[in-house]
Amino acid sequence: MTEEPAGGDLSRLRQLNAVAVLRELRGDQPLTLTELSKRTGLSRASTEDVARDLLGRGWLTEVAPASGSVGRPARRYRFNAGAGRLLGVDVGGHKVLALVTDLDGEVISQTRLEIDPEAGRRARLAALDRCVSKALTKASARGWAGTSARSGDGQIWATGVATTGLVDGTGKVMLSDSLPEWSGVDLAAHVRRLVPGPVRVENDCKLAALAETWRGVARYASDVVFLLAGLRTGAGLIIDGKLHRGFANWSGEIGALPAAGWQQAPQHLHRWLDQTPHPEGFERVFVAARAGDEGALAAVHDYVRDLAVGASALVLTLDPQLVVIGGGFSRSADVMVEPLRRELDRWCLRTPEIRVSAFADEGVALGAVRLALDEVESTITTGLRP
Amino acid sequence: MTEEPAGGDLSRLRQLNAVAVLRELRGDQPLTLTELSKRTGLSRASTEDVARDLLGRGWLTEVAPASGSVGRPARRYRFNAGAGRLLGVDVGGHKVLALVTDLDGEVISQTRLEIDPEAGRRARLAALDRCVSKALTKASARGWAGTSARSGDGQIWATGVATTGLVDGTGKVMLSDSLPEWSGVDLAAHVRRLVPGPVRVENDCKLAALAETWRGVARYASDVVFLLAGLRTGAGLIIDGKLHRGFANWSGEIGALPAAGWQQAPQHLHRWLDQTPHPEGFERVFVAARAGDEGALAAVHDYVRDLAVGASALVLTLDPQLVVIGGGFSRSADVMVEPLRRELDRWCLRTPEIRVSAFADEGVALGAVRLALDEVESTITTGLRP
């Protein structure tokens, strides 16, 4: 990295130097100026200059010097994850869930609003507005431990939004067959009116898969089939450590194929319940199955049998290291995993390890936070925020 | 790259320098010593030293100086693709096909032996031996244009072998349900007794997919579903520009799922033929369909309908940019592509572009050559051959 401006744009150069310093400080360890200078290749003077600037902006914090050092201990710096906040929102069928986190993705506040699954576009967007507004109020009322208050702290730097259905590259819902009047909603544009900073929108199953590789049970796996098992069935794919989106962002949609069995799968549970779908209603089937009710057990088995056909198609296609079960039904994984394993054994050449998500129905919102964090990190890597 | 040996191993250092020079010369352009020195970061003296050594080994050739240069024109060098040869072998149900190529993968000779599909392990391995032996004799009888003969020229540097069935990481056939007595064959060990150099073995569908991204109709696509349509149906996947192998190298096996329709697909053609499977037999159905025979057309349509279910499962899962049809039936793609497109339109959310392989049943062997070339290139990248 050039340090001497050749009669050029000094501020741009300082910006590039700042990016280099920030990149090094995104790791876990605080670093001294000497270490930073060595890692970035900047001179000691330039490093000090940049550090002073970033401290002034609140992006760095000074941490206590390492104990036991000889002579005057050197100051150490680390990235200030409290400098800004991230917002992750899951707009689902029955709920809107918003998470506000720091720049490391640590959750500061969580806000949940139940909504009627039959709600139309306007009512759903209004619920989204209320939920985001509540989340922001709650988060700004809450301080961070270990971070000095400072003007500008707590501003949302980036937002990730998860929704069911197919989402295009601009954040518009192309097609949703489960939410009424939802196809065509320009969700990114709508949320941009609510919060500052960039907004990215992505399909909920993809984001739940992302959450599992980020902080969940798939952290060290490079190829993962994630199954969202709930009122709807969906899939998200991690290939070679990365979220696989596909050419038009429409990957993981095996459920659209009738032969995959996912369209009729939840009907077996409905039949036992003999009522309209509702999360607690479904919970009842699993509770009854767990208690040994034969009808409920049969319903769960029929559900799993159909779920397993599509799941086997994914497994046979990709030969993943891991299958992760998430979504609302994953709370009842104890009655689902063994029958699922048996069905996969029946169809697959090699049944991968099956793990159950620890996030239940919060994984989608956490994946939306990860999407927001991706946005911030790409900004830090390519240049500072204006 | 360090140039001065600090009292250390001179030959290892020269080897590293040679690797750096070779890496630069794998491109299309011949380079002068000045250009090579600049690109590798080696001193002019070291570059000359390495070039002299590599010329002596026959790995470089000198090409005519660029015309129109002022003063004494500088010598230019390029990689000598004729320094060694690659062998690619396809051990199929009805044939063994061997290609001998130069180090750029240009085919020097091609040898094909028909075999009885019912042949057992011993007979098939004997056919493989005969085919490889013929191919080597043929290739060594044939010179290269533009390459001076030199001792050691023409030796096989690496071999790729393609076979149906599941192959493990050591080159052993784990499972083959189409070739008699084929499961358990240690194909890599067998071929190592026939040729010098490293031998790698891989599943035929995967290698045919690789050939398409290397030299075929999928050259500029990053996500590709390759369908091998022939007496058997199989798939190979290119994801993010790379062959996707899967955790245990068992990807693309959607055909094992009865719901995918591939197990019964060729039976519709059999029914029309009312005879045992044979490539020419199948060809007859397509010829009749092309001529408008209604029974043949119905058989082809039924075949395509079943093929499309599994193909749709792959497309819905991955959302690829491209579907490529290869294998023996791809010669009859003119009667297959339109019905296939209609069936994909029926099940898929987005039907990708469909292209037909130009390799017909030679793509698998070409992919085996690419596998051998991968081996040579990884050797050049990590260190020279002994």
Going through A146-198 in order, the beta strands assigned E by DSSP cover 156-163, 166-167, 173-175
Residue where the block lists tokens 């995993």 = A337
pLDDT score of B5: 39
Any idea which of A7-11, A313-317, B207-211 has the lowest mean pLDDT?
A: A7-11
Bridge partners (DSSP) listed for residue A324: A226, A355
* Nearest chain B alpha carbon to A318: B251
Closest listed residue to residue B297, CA positions, set B268, B264, B327, B330: B268
pLDDT above 60 for A8? no
- Phi, psi angles (nearest 5°) of residue B233: -115, 135
Dihedral sign, CA of A342, A347, A353, A357? Answer: negative
Mean of pLDDT values over A1-30: 67
pLDDT of residue A4: 40
Give yes or no for a contact between A336 and A325, defined as CB atoms under 8 angstroms apart: yes
Q: Is the dihedral of CA A26, A32, A35, A36 positive or negative?
A: positive
Flag if A349 and B259 touch (Cβ within 8 Å): no
The mean pLDDT value for A195-220 works out to: 96
Is the pLDDT at A278 greater than 60? The verdict is no
Tell me the average pLDDT across A231-257: 95
- Position B7 scores a pLDDT of 38
Order the strands of the B224-229 sheet from edge to edge: B242-243, B233-239, B224-229, B322-326, B353-356
Residue B376 reports pLDDT greater than 90: no
Asked whether residue B291 carries a pLDDT value surpassing 90, the answer given is: yes
Q: Residue A16: what pLDDT?
A: 78
- Measure in Å the smallest separation between the Cα of B379 and chain A Cα atoms: 23
Contact (CB<8Å) B317/A240? no
Q: What pLDDT, on the 0 to 100 scale, is given for residue B174?
A: 92
Closest CA to A95 of A369, A360, A370, A335: A360
Shortest distance between the Cα of B266 and any Cα of chain A, in A, equals 19
Contacts of A274 (CB under 8 A, 6+ apart): none
Query: Is B282:B269 a contact under the CB 8 Å cutoff?
Result: yes
3-class state of residue A135 by DSSP: helix
Chain A residues near residue B223 by CB distance under 8 angstroms: 246-247
Q: Which of B52, B61, B62 is nearest to B18 (CA)?
A: B52
Cβ–Cβ contact A338 with B under 8 A: no
Provide the sign of the torsion angle of the four alpha carbons A10, A11, A16, A18, taken in this order.
positive
- A260/B259 Cβ within 8 A: yes
Pairing of the two strands B60-63 and B76-79: antiparallel
Tokens standing for residue A228: 């969202």
In chain A, which residue's Cα lies nearest the Cα of B221?
A: A247
User: Per the CB < 8 Å rule, is A313 touching B259?
Assistant: yes
Q: Which residues pair with A77 in a beta bridge?
A: A31, A62
The C-alpha atoms of residue A194 and residue A28 are separated, in whole angstroms, by 32
Buried b (16+ CB within 10 A) or exposed e, B254-286: bbbbebbbbeebbebbbebbeeebebebbebbb
Please name the member of B237, B254, B348 whose beta carbon is closest to the beta carbon of A313. Answer: B254
What secondary structure letter does DSSP report for B92?
-
CA torsion sign for A38, A44, A49, A53 is positive
* Element holding B166 (H helix, E strand): strand B166-167
Give the tens place of pLDDT for each residue, A260-274: 999 999 999 988 887
The residues near A181 (Cβ < 8 Å, ≥ 6 apart) are: A120, A121, A122
Q: Which two tokens stand for residue B134?
A: 């013929």
Per-residue pLDDT at B8: 40
Start-end of H helices in chain A: 10-25, 33-40, 44-57, 121-141, 187-192, 204-215, 265-273, 279-290, 294-318, 333-347, 363-382
Determine whether the interchain pair B251/A318 forms a contact, defined as Cβ–Cβ distance below 8 Å. Answer: yes
Pairing of strands B224-229, B233-239: antiparallel
Encode pLDDT of B122-178 as tens digits: 999 999 999 999 999 988 776 543 344 444 456 899 999 999 999 998 999 999 988
Per-residue model confidence as pLDDT tens digits over A141-155: 765 433 444 444 568
Mean pLDDT on A44-66: 86
Q: Taking Cα atoms as reference points, which of B68, B62, B9 lies closest to residue B36?
A: B62
Token pair for A223:
């190829």
Average pLDDT, stretch B272-290? 76
**Residue A64 CA, distance from chain mean position:** 33
The residue behind tokens 């500072």 is: A384
Which residue do the tokens 């898929």 mark?
B348
Q: What token pair was written down for B342?
A: 């209609």
Contacts of A223 in chain B (CB under 8 A): 246-247
pLDDT in tens, B172-183: 999 998 899 999
Which percentage of chain A shows pLDDT scores above 90?
A: 63
Cβ–Cβ contact A242 with B under 8 A: yes
Using the Cα atoms of residue B353, residue B354, residue B357 and residue B363 in order, give the sign of their dihedral: positive
B58 falls in which pLDDT band (50, 70, 90)?
confident
Distance of residue A318 Cα from the nearest chain B Cα, in angstroms: 5
A273 vs B122: CA distance, rounded Å: 60
The interface predicted TM-score (ipTM) is 0.87
User: With an 8 Å Cβ cutoff, is B220 touching chain A?
Assistant: no
Residue holding tokens 């707590």?
A154
- Residue A125 pLDDT > 50, yes or no? yes
Q: Is the pLDDT of residue B3 over 50?
A: no
B246 and A223 within 8 Å at the Cβ level: the answer is: yes
Find, among A204, A336, A324, A212, the residue nearest to A266 by Cα.
A336
Q: Roughly how many angstroms between the first and final C-alpha of chain B, as a whole number?
A: 21
pLDDT score of B32 more than 80: yes
Question: Measured between beta carbons, which residues in chain A are less than 8 angstroms from residue B259?
Answer: 259-261, 309, 313
Least trusted range by pLDDT, from A71-75, A158-162, B336-340, B379-383: B379-383
| Average pLDDT for B210-220 | 96
Name all domains of chain B by residue range, CATH numbers in brackets: 10-79 (1.10.10.10), 82-208+364-382 (3.30.420.40), 218-358 (3.30.420.40)
Is residue A283's pLDDT more than 90? no
CB contact under 8 A, B252 and A313: no
C-alpha to C-alpha distance for A360 and A326, rounded to whole angstroms: 6
Instruction: Check pLDDT > 70 for residue B384.
Output: no
Confidence of residue B184 (pLDDT cuts 50, 70, 90): very high
CB-based burial label for A8 (10 Å; 0-12, 13-18, 19+) = exposed
Contact B260 A259 (CB under 8 A): yes
CB of A259 less than 8 A from some CB of B: yes
Q: How many CB atoms lie within 10 A of CB A380?
A: 19
Closest by Cα among A300, A278, A274, A277 to A287: A300
Cα separation, A154 vs A142, whole angstroms: 10
| HSE-CB of A173 using CA atoms within 13 angstroms | 25
- Band (pLDDT 50/70/90 cuts) for residue A2 is very low
Q: For residue range B87-110, list pLDDT tens digits in order.
A: 999 999 889 999 999 998 999 999
Please state the length of chain B. Answer: 386
Q: Who among A242, A245, A257 is closest to B312 (CB)?
A: A257
Chain B partners within 8 Å of A250 (Cβ): 319, 349-350
Amino acid A150: pLDDT = 45
Percent of chain B surpassing pLDDT 70: 88
Which residues of chain B have a CB within 8 Å of the CB of A319? 245-251, 253
Average per-residue pLDDT in chain B? 88
Helices B279-290, B333-347: inter-axial angle, 10-degree rounding = 80
Residue A247 to residue B317, Cβ atoms within 8 A: no
pLDDT higher than 70, residue A275: no
Nearest CA in chain B to A239: B239
Q: Which of B241-250, B251-260, B267-276 has the lowest mean pLDDT?
A: B267-276
- Whether B25 shows a pLDDT value over 60: the answer reads yes
- pLDDT tens digits along B322-357: 999 999 899 999 999 999 999 999 999 999 999 999
CB A361 within 8 A of CB A280: no
Model confidence over A74-113: pLDDT tens digits? 889 998 888 889 999 999 988 999 999 999 899 999 999 9
Distance CA B30, CA B80 (A): 11
Asked if the C-beta of A220 comes within 8 angstroms of chain B's C-beta atoms, the answer is no
Interface residue B309 vs chain A (CB under 8 A):
yes
